[in-house]
């Protein structure tokens, strides 16, 4: 799947669209426009409401946020919320920027984080 609208359509098709739009407070036409690509991914508040009310399969929620961010040319909202809640991350990213961290370094850091099984995170 290539677009946010395509993924939204697939995930949304698993449930009643009428109930979904009522819960979120958007029109059915607006939802269909997003699914068809006639409108770009919605603002953060609607995106988060959709994410809270859709039945995702494994890996789909992250893809949902990633595709929306790609369309909107921004950081995925789930990531930005996490960063804002953990200001130390901002300091780490700024230090990485100052030191011009290499892609290789970032890959090793990711591998380290993905391999950590202890509760020290």
Predicted confidence (pLDDT) at residue 27 exceeds the cutoff of 60: yes
Predicted confidence (pLDDT) at residue 30 exceeds the cutoff of 80: yes
Instruction: Kindly indicate the confidence band of residue 46, based on its pLDDT and cuts at 50, 70 and 90.
Output: very high
The residue that leads in pLDDT, 1 or 86, is 86
Mind spelling out the 3-state secondary structure of the chain?
CCCHHHHHHHHHCCCCHHHHHHHHCCCHHHHHHHHHCCCCCCCHHHHHHHHHHCCCCCCHHHHHHHHHHHHHCCCCHHHHHHHHHCCHHHHHHHHHHHCCCCHHHHHHHHHHHHHCCCCCC
Max CA distance (Å), the chain: 51
Q: What is the pTM of this model?
A: 0.84
Across 96-102, average pLDDT: 92
């Amino acid at each position: 799947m290539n677009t946010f609208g395509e993924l939204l359509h697939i995930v949304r098709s698993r449930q009643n669209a009428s109930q979904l739009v009522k819960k979120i407070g958007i029109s059915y036409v607006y939802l269909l426009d997003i699914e068809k690509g006639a409108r770009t991914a919605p603002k953060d508040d609607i995106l988060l409401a959709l994410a809270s009310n859709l039945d995702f399969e494994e890996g789909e929620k992250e893809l949902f946020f990633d595709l929306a961010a790609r369309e909107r040319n921004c950081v995925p909202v789930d990531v930005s919320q996490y960063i804002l809640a953990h200001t130390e991350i901002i300091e780490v990213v700024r230090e990485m920027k100052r030191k011009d961290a290499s892609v290789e370094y970032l890959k090793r850091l990711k591998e380290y984080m993905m391999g950590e099984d202890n509760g020290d995170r």
